Structures are given as C-alpha cells and as structure tokens.
Amino acid sequence: MLRSLRVVALALAAACTLLSGCGVTGEAKSAGSTPAVSAPERVWTGKTPPEPLGPPNSAGRPTPLRSMPRVPSGDIHEIAPLTIARAAAEPMSGDDETAKSIKACRALGQKACAVQAPHYRDLNGDGKDELLLAIETSGSWISLWAFTVKDGVITQILGVSERSRSVELAGRDVIVWEPVDTGGYDLRRVFSWDERLQALNERVTEYVESGSAPKK
C-alpha cells in the first residue's frame, strides 16, 4: 500500500512539472506568450506644416561704394566697419530705419549702437576676408549686409532685411533663421557666393522643425 502511494505521488509531481501549473515557491513559472516587437507608430505630430515655399529670391547686383577710398591691397580690414556701413547707407532715404540706426551709432560695441560686432570670413573663395554686418532695427528685424574688395573698390555683395531669430556662418555660407507664424517651425535661408552674379545669392529656403535652429 505504501509503495502504491509513492508511485501516485511521483506521477502527480511529473504531471505538475509538465503542465507548469503546480509551481512551488522559488520555482520558475511560465509568463505566457510574448507580444511581437514592432517599430513605434506615429499617431499625432501636433504640428501643421506651413504652406509650401516658392523658389529662393535672387540676390541683387554687387554695388560699388564709390565714395570710399580705394583699397589696392584688397584687404577689407584696412577700413573701419562703421565707415563702410555709413557709406552704404548714404544713398538711402533719411527716413529709412536702417539708415537712421547707422547714423545714430557713434562707436561699435556701445549699447545704443544698432550696428552689431563685425564678422570677417572668406565668403567668395578668393582667400581674402569679406565683411558681414548686421544692423538691428525694430522688433526682431535686421539688415544683413556683406562687403568685399573688388578691383580695389569696396563693394556691397549682400543687402537683405530679415525678421531674424539668429544668423550663422558655416564655411562660406551665411545662414539666417527666421520665426514663422506656423507653430513648431522656423524658416532657414542660406546665402552663398554666386560666381555669375558676383554676389551672395539665396541658395536655399526651407522650413525646419523648431529645435534645429540655434537660440539667440
């Protein structure tokens, strides 16, 4: 009789092991089937893309500043940036806000001066620096000007007014970031040297999701 009970107990233990339904404390138990792994599925972006953009604007022609002294060396560092800015503003209307801002500036670096610190960079690949100036006006608007020395004459090669968040120099490119009314996006404009026009031309105009643009 005792032997029969032992046989029955062993049989029950074996059945529990096979069915995983009679676990003892400390023993592993089956967790059931595992869901298949899949890539995340985007169900809502929270952003409405802006209206499609047209082609980039074409730059104006280079403008020699004939009132400036000649620079035979081709080194634009020889002329003070504020002197160049004032010469470029001469043909502008006296009511023009950029012209008034330049006229009111007494020295770069002063708080009241709207002409920001100059930046020098070889923008046309000739091995010599060009001058890039930003003149702040009302709100977040700036006038962005660039100058080179062509055949000894100071020449303006960029003159745009933008509602800018920030401006970058990347290699020989000038990149302007602008806020747009559509939430979640910024407008990125890239100006590059155009050999045919002999000026900086708007090469790229595109919307970029906010967060990619540098903060001012």
Q: DSSP labels for 20-68?
A: T-S--TTS-----PPPPP----------PPPPPP-PPPPP---EE-TTS
Yes or no: say if 114 and 104 are a contact pair by the CB < 8 Å rule: yes
Q: What is the mean pLDDT of residues 147-167?
A: 94
Higher model confidence: residue 12 or residue 52?
Answer: 52
Of the candidate ranges 9-13, 140-144, 211-215, the one whose mean pLDDT is the lowest: 9-13
Q: Which residue has the tokens 């990619």?
A: 212
156/146 Cα distance (integer angstroms): 6
* Stretch 13-20: mean pLDDT: 47
Q: Which of 47, 52, 57 is nearest to 207 (CA)?
A: 52
132: left (phi over 0), alpha (psi -120 to 50) or beta: beta
Query: How many of the other CB atoms lie within 10 Å of CB of 121?
Result: 16
As a whole number, the mean pLDDT across the chain is 82
Q: Is 15 helix (H, G, I), strand (E, B) or coil?
A: helix
- pTM, to two decimals: 0.74
What 3 state SS string does 151-175 have? CCEEEEEEEEEEECCEEEEECCEEE
**Is 156 or 207 the better-scoring residue by pLDDT?**
156
Tokens, residue 119: 């930046």
E strand spans, 62-113: 63-64
Spatial separation of the C-alpha atoms in residues 86 and 73, rounded to whole Å: 22
What pLDDT does residue 209 have?
84
pLDDT by residue (tens digit) across 97-139?
899 999 999 998 788 899 999 999 999 999 999 999 999 987 7
Nearby residues of 81 by Cβ (< 8 Å), 6 or more positions away: 108, 115, 118, 131, 133
Q: Which of 151, 175, 185 is nearest to 45 (CA)?
A: 185
The enclosing H or E element of 98 equals helix 97-104
Per residue in 41-64, pLDDT (tens digit) is 766 655 666 776 777 777 678 999
